Amino acid sequence: MTFEDVLRGLTAVAKTAPHAQTGLWVAGMLRDRIAAGQLSPGTKLSEEALGRALGVSRNTLREAFTMLGSEHIITRIPNRGVFVARPSAEDIREIYRVRRYLEPAALSWSAADGPGRLEDIVAAARAAKAAGDIPAMAGANQDFHSAVVAMTGSERLNTLMGQVLAEMRLVFHAMAANPAFHEPYVEDNAHILELLRLGRRDEAARFMTDYLRRAEAQLLAAVDRDAA
Whether the CB-CB separation of 153 and 112 falls below 8 Å is answered with yes
Phi, psi of 31 (to 5 degrees): -60, -45
| Domain count within the chain | 2
Which of 97-101, 167-171, 189-193 shows the lowest per-residue confidence on average (mean pLDDT)? Answer: 167-171
For 12-41, what is the mean pLDDT?
83
Is the Cα dihedral 210, 152, 117, 73 positive or negative? negative
Rg (CA), the chain: 18
Q: Which pLDDT belongs to residue 96?
A: 95
Q: Which of 86, 95, 100, 62 has the alpha carbon at shortest distance from 210?
A: 100
Q: Which pLDDT belongs to residue 46?
A: 92
CB atoms within 10 A of CB 164: 22
The helix/strand/coil state of 77 is strand
Whether the CB-CB separation of 104 and 145 falls below 8 Å is answered with no
Question: Looking at the structure, do residues 29 and 50 belong to the same domain, yes or no?
Answer: yes
Q: What is the pLDDT of residues 151-179, one digit of tens each?
A: 999 999 999 998 898 888 888 776 665 66
Which of 84, 117, 136 terminates a domain? The answer is: 84
Question: Looking at the structure, do residues 30 and 65 belong to the same domain, yes or no?
Answer: yes
Which of 30, 52, 84 terminates a domain? The answer is: 84
Which of 61, 84, 107 terminates a domain? The answer is: 84
Where does the pLDDT of residue 227 fall: very low under 50, low under 70, confident under 90, or very high at 90 and above? low
- Residue 140 domain boundaries: 89-227
Question: Looking at the structure, do residues 103 and 201 belong to the same domain, yes or no?
Answer: yes
For 194-209, what is the mean pLDDT?
94
Question: Looking at the structure, do residues 13 and 79 belong to the same domain, yes or no?
Answer: yes
Whether the CB-CB separation of 141 and 185 falls below 8 Å is answered with yes
Whether the CB-CB separation of 54 and 61 falls below 8 Å is answered with yes
Residue 31 belongs to domain with CATH number: 1.10.10.10
Question: Looking at the structure, do residues 53 and 95 belong to the same domain, yes or no?
Answer: no
Does this model's pTM top 0.85? My answer is: no
Q: Which of 92, 115, 75 has the alpha carbon at shortest distance from 198?
A: 115
Question: Looking at the structure, do residues 80 and 138 belong to the same domain, yes or no?
Answer: no
Whether the CB-CB separation of 89 and 220 falls below 8 Å is answered with yes
Q: Is the pLDDT of residue 185 over 80?
A: yes
Where does the pLDDT of residue 187 fall: very low under 50, low under 70, confident under 90, or very high at 90 and above? very high
Question: Looking at the structure, do residues 178 and 131 belong to the same domain, yes or no?
Answer: yes
